[in-house]
Amino acid sequence: MTAKRVALVTGASTGIGRSVAETLARNGYVAFAGMRDPDGRNRAARDEVAGLATAGIPIETVALDVTDDASVAAAVATVVEKTGKIDVILNNAGGCVMGLAECSSVDQLRRLFETHVFGTQRVCRAVLPHMRRRKTGVLAFTSSVGGRVALPTTALYSSAKAAMEMIAEGYKRELASFGIDVVILEPGMVRTKIFDNMWLDDDTARAAEYGALGGVARAVLEMVKTMEGPSPEELAGVLLRLLEMPHGQRPLRTTFGPDAALIDPVNIAADEATRALHALYGG
């Protein structure tokens, strides 16, 4: 078993996931960058990670498709076989659809939930038995401002992130006795390629029935592509600082960025309501 802490990051081919994996590897962790199809569509990302490893940075790629049970099980088994443990898992894989809620098909909504919700649950169920046996670990989730507030033209994306956050909140209380912490990152605008890979609502006929409003998603998408925001490396630094905190002192939710700070009052109010409701129902 390696003496270093071990981290597995999903959706680590680019953006936040890639930055987190590299940042942790440069700061005392053995990092596994989980990504789909590393021998195909993500071969370039795999080769970049391999270059870091050649330079002596303890990071490597592991094939991991969060929408596939066998892939998740194999990835977790690979990490445990190589290192003997998993100390940190960051559920980061995701995607985003923009458009009016009615104008996205059920297939698009299913695709969102398959990754953000069902995929996250697959990964947690695969990793948690190892963490519970060792009575230590951190379960981390990349959410969004949209996990707390439905932003313009992203209600369906927000619904998936909100569902993921509720699952994470349940895990926090259920895993406390096993020495496992849960943290949720809630970034606002971050400079990644997500806006280049975003899907638009697929029912254009219905969108046309909304008139000018039907074209808002495309206008918003072009606008956000030009907006400035902090880098994914900065967000990775935030997670690193959370991981360096003692067990039991890590906050459940951490916002990131000036726009995300606007939901801090929402989180404070929700925490107070949650405590009151748990006291009422004996949780």
- Domain boundary assignment for the chain: 5-281
For residue 1, pLDDT beyond 90: no
The more confident residue out of 142 and 213 is 142
For residue 137, pLDDT beyond 80: yes
In this prediction, residues 139-145 reach a mean pLDDT of 97
Model confidence pLDDT, tens digit, residues 196-224? 677 888 999 999 999 988 887 777 767 66
Catalytic residue, from 29, 157, 171, 210: name it: 157
> pLDDT category, 225, cuts 50, 70, 90?
low
Local structure of residue 264 (DSSP, 8 states): H
Q: Lowest-pLDDT range, 70-74, 153-157, 160-164?
A: 153-157
On average, the pLDDT of the chain sits at 93
| 39-56 exposure pattern, b = at least 16 Cβ within 10 A, e = fewer | eeebeebbebbeebeeee
> pLDDT category, 133, cuts 50, 70, 90?
very high
d(CA 277, CA 78): 41
Q: What is the pTM of this model?
A: 0.94
Range 5-281 classified under CATH 3.40.50.720: yes
210 is catalytic: no
Q: How much is the pLDDT for 194?
A: 66
Q: How much is the pLDDT for 196?
A: 65
